[in-house]
């Protein structure tokens, strides 16, 4: 998922360029079966961070199940979170931790940022849950999801917004730990 | 560190036995998502999976577990999130999950894990299964006072690691032996 955006020096410029790049590259993935919003969100943020170790395919792989978790509904009606949200939350932890194991003193900051992320995401789209956001039960209505181009119409926007929100909420850490 | 000379199922058994003792007493800042994910990675035994980045990305998930939305939606237990990440790494094995069938397999396994976890503990939500809304500091005191980690949360971690092992046995033997 590497791109040429990393030739630009300022990390915030790189985030902006990444989102613009995704606006072109991401919608066509809707025509490809086997598409993970969680993996797109996490790996594209890691691409902006521009560290060799973060190119490892393990980051893509660990994120993929979170898209499936989004489709989960339990007997009590609890619905799984949007994969873009889970991917973004992982990225927040990784960014705040920086180049060493997260400083225990910064754990409350991670907490604050996660809650802020979830609040802002919910405010923007009306929910955190995949079902509510895309309006379908993907365990039963995946063909409708494809036929009605929900990826292109809705899900890509969750990814763009999640990436932008992560960059805004972790601004200070991006500046100091990911120069 | 679990020895990579033993077969993968034995390494899981030993890890679980070790953890039963090791995580009985929570150290300050114990994090159920990190404990779940990092201990699974430890059993897999690859040098590159020891990176602090894997620890850091798992760190926020218990905090997400404490999230409660305006419409009453509650975040999932951090252990569940840590386990899902572990499932992805195991199923992918030595290469990137990219084929539709592989993505589907990883996603189906996530659902299967959630079903089994909810069946065992009655819910996926952190607040439901530990019994506290941990965003309230007063509840955190109660959580500590009532030994909730020892009585409840550590068992979620042990179950999750074992369940991941059970449902990915084929991939574990194929990619991680």
Cβ-based neighbours of B100, under 8 Å, separated by 6 or more? A32, A33, A34
User: Bigger pLDDT: B27 or A120?
Assistant: A120
* Dihedral over alpha carbons A122, A128, A131, A132 (to 10 degrees): -20
* Dihedral over alpha carbons A104, A106, A107, A112 (to 10 degrees): 170
Contact between B53 and A54 using a beta-carbon 8 Å cutoff: yes
Cβ-based neighbours of A112, under 8 Å, separated by 6 or more? none
Whether pLDDT at A1 is above 70? no
Please name the member of A35, A61, A101 whose beta carbon is closest to the beta carbon of B96: A61
What local confidence, expressed as pLDDT, does residue A40 receive?
97
- Span of B52-56, B88-92, B126-130 with lowest mean pLDDT: B126-130
Contact between A34 and B102 using a beta-carbon 8 Å cutoff: yes
Whether pLDDT at A3 is above 60? no
What local confidence, expressed as pLDDT, does residue B2 receive?
54
What residue segments make up the domains of chain A, in order of their start? 35-64+79-177
ipTM, two decimals: 0.94
User: If pLDDT is split at 50, 70 and 90, which confidence band does A58 have?
Assistant: very high
Q: How far is B75 from chain A (nearest CA, A)?
A: 8
Residues of B in contact with A92 (CB under 8 A): 60
Residues of B in contact with A36 (CB under 8 A): 97, 103, 107
Whether pLDDT at A4 is above 80? no
Which backbone phi and psi does A129 adopt, to 5 degrees?
Answer: -85, 140
Contact between A68 and B110 using a beta-carbon 8 Å cutoff: yes
- Name the A residues in 117-176 with CB < 8 Å from any B CB: 118, 122, 127-129, 139
Which backbone phi and psi does B50 adopt, to 5 degrees?
Answer: -85, -5
Cα distance between residue B92 and residue B106, in whole Å: 8
User: Bigger pLDDT: A78 or B29?
Assistant: A78
Task: Please check whether residue A105 touches B, CB under 8 A.
Answer: no
DSSP state of A95: H
CA nearest neighbour of A77 among B124, B155, B144, B134: B124
pLDDT in tens, A6-26: 666 799 999 999 999 999 999
What local confidence, expressed as pLDDT, does residue A142 receive?
85
- Span of A1-15, A46-60, A91-105, B43-57 with lowest mean pLDDT: A1-15
Residue B122: CB atoms within 10 A of its CB come to: 13
Q: How far is A17 from chain B (nearest CA, A)?
A: 23
Cβ-based neighbours of A158, under 8 Å, separated by 6 or more? A37, A82, A84, A85, A121, A125, A133
What are the residue ranges of helices labelled H in chain A? 11-25, 37-49, 57-70, 83-97, 107-125, 130-134, 142-147, 150, 156-169, 171-177
pLDDT, average across residues B82-93? 98
pLDDT, average across residues A73-88? 93
User: If pLDDT is split at 50, 70 and 90, which confidence band does A30 have?
Assistant: confident
What local confidence, expressed as pLDDT, does residue B155 receive?
96
Contact between B56 and A96 using a beta-carbon 8 Å cutoff: yes
What local confidence, expressed as pLDDT, does residue A57 receive?
97
pLDDT, average across residues A108-135? 94
Q: Encode burial over B15-41: b for 16+ CB neighbours within 10 A, e otherwise.
A: bbeebeeebeebeeeebbbbbbbbbbb
Cα distance between residue A40 and residue A20, in whole Å: 14
Task: Please check whether residue A104 touches B, CB under 8 A.
Answer: yes
What local confidence, expressed as pLDDT, does residue A35 receive?
87
Whether pLDDT at B136 is above 90? no
Determine the distance from the C-alpha atom of residue A115 to the mean position of all C-alpha atoms in its chain, rounded to a whole number: 15
Tokens found for residue B167: 């449902």
Disruptive mutation site among A36, A49, A65, A145 for chain B (greatest number of B CBs within 10 Å):
A65
User: If pLDDT is split at 50, 70 and 90, which confidence band does A56 have?
Assistant: very high
Nearest CA in chain A to B86: A62
Cα distance between residue B171 and residue B136, in whole Å: 41
Cα distance between residue A49 and residue B23, in whole Å: 34
pLDDT in tens, B21-62: 888 876 767 799 999 999 999 999 999 999 999 999 999 999
- Name the A residues in 80-99 with CB < 8 Å from any B CB: 80-81, 86, 89-94, 96-98
Output the average pLDDT for chain A. 93
Please name the member of A64, A102, A107 whose beta carbon is closest to the beta carbon of B88: A64
Burial of A177 (0-12, 13-18, 19+ CB in 10 A): middle
Contact between A93 and B59 using a beta-carbon 8 Å cutoff: yes
pLDDT, average across residues A37-57? 97
What local confidence, expressed as pLDDT, does residue B113 receive?
97
Contact B82, A44 (CB under 8 A): no
What local confidence, expressed as pLDDT, does residue A32 receive?
79
Output the average pLDDT for chain B. 92
Q: What percent of chain B has pLDDT over 70?
A: 95
Cα distance between residue A179 and residue A12, in whole Å: 10
What local confidence, expressed as pLDDT, does residue A6 receive?
66
The pTM of the full predicted model, rounded to 2 decimals, is: 0.95
pLDDT in tens, B92-112: 999 999 999 999 999 999 999
What local confidence, expressed as pLDDT, does residue B36 receive?
98
Cα distance between residue A168 and residue A170, in whole Å: 6
Which backbone phi and psi does A11 adopt, to 5 degrees?
Answer: -65, -30
């Amino acid at each position: 998922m590497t791109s040429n955006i990393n030739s630009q020096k300022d990390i915030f410029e790189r985030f902006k360029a990444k989102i613009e790049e995704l606006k072109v590259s991401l919608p066509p993935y809707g025509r490809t079966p086997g598409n993970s919003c969680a993996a797109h969100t996490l790996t594209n943020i890691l691409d902006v961070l521009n560290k060799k170790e973060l190119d490892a395919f393990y980051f893509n792989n660990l994120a993929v199940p979170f898209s499936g978790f989004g489709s989960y509904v339990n007997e009590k009606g609890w619905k799984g979170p949007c994969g873009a949200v889970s991917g973004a939350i992982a990225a927040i932890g990784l960014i705040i931790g920086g180049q060493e194991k997260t400083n225990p003193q910064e754990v409350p900051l991670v907490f604050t940022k996660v809650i802020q992320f979830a609040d802002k995401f919910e405010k923007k789209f009306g929910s955190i849950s995949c079902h509510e956001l895309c309006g379908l039960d993907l365990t039963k209505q995946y063909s409708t999801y494809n036929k009605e181009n929900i990826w292109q119409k809705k899900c890509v926007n969750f990814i763009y917004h999640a990436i932008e929100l992560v960059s805004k909420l972790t601004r200070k850490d991006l500046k100091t730990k990911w120069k | 560190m679990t020895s990579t000379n033993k077969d993968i199922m034995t390494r899981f058994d030993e890890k679980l036995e070790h953890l039963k003792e090791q995580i009985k007493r929570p150290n300050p800042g114990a994090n159920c998502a990190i404990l779940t994910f990092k201990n699974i990675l430890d059993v897999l035994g690859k040098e590159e999976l020891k990176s602090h980045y894997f620890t850091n990305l798992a760190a926020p998930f218990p905090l997400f577990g404490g999230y409660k939305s305006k419409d009453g939606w509650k975040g999932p237990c951090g252990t569940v999130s840590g386990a899902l990440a572990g499932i992805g790494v195991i199923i992918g094995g030595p290469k990137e999950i990219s084929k539709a069938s592989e993505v589907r397999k990883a996603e189906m396994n996530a659902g299967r894990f959630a079903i089994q976890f909810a069946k065992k503990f009655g819910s996926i939500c952190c607040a439901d299964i530990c019994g506290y809304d941990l965003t309230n500091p007063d509840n955190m005191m109660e959580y500590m006072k009532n030994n909730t980690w020892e009585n409840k949360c550590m068992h979620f971690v042990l179950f999750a690691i074992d369940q991941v092992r059970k449902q990915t046995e084929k991939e574990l033997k194929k990619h991680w032996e």
